[in-house]
Amino acid sequence: MANYMTSKQRRTFRTRNKLKAVNVKKAGLKPARPRLSVHRTNKGVYAQIIDDLQGVTIASASWMDTDLGLKNGGNKEAAVKVGKLIAERAKKAGVTQVQFDRGSFLFHGRIKAIADGAREGGLEF
């Protein structure tokens, strides 16, 4: 029986496989850097830094964090703040370089705003 995937699943797998290919080229079979995985919904944005080798989340941030004091997370300003917060938490955990994993989302709008905020906060990717 054929394995049918939705277009969203295909985009996600394509993005993740490109990240894995970069890791294999740079550092053999061992991932060179943790990945910054982002997700968005109509209400808000979420980000987490994942170490795929150990299978643990190093740091996470979302629009619902009380540190940010946001009432609406569905805009670019909230996404920039989440990006800065994830960068701050990553630095506390000792992570400065990450791979940006946009999943099935286009690098546009709020996803780009998270990336810009993380770069402003000091993450390199």
In a domain? residue 1 = no
In a domain? residue 68 = yes
In a domain? residue 78 = yes
- Statement: residue 1 has pLDDT above 50: no
In a domain? residue 101 = yes
Tell me the CATH number at 88. Answer: 3.30.420.100
Number of domains in the chain: 1
- Statement: residue 34 has pLDDT above 80: yes
Q: Which tops the pLDDT comparison, 55 or 84?
A: 84
Once rounded to an integer, what is the mean pLDDT over residues 18-37? 69
- With H, G, I as helix, E, B as strand and everything else as coil, classify residue 60: strand
pTM for the complete prediction?
0.83
The whole-number pLDDT of residue 47 equals 97
In a domain? residue 117 = yes
pLDDT-derived band at 80 (thresholds 50, 70, 90) equals: very high
Helix axes 76-92, 110-121, angle to 10 degrees: 40
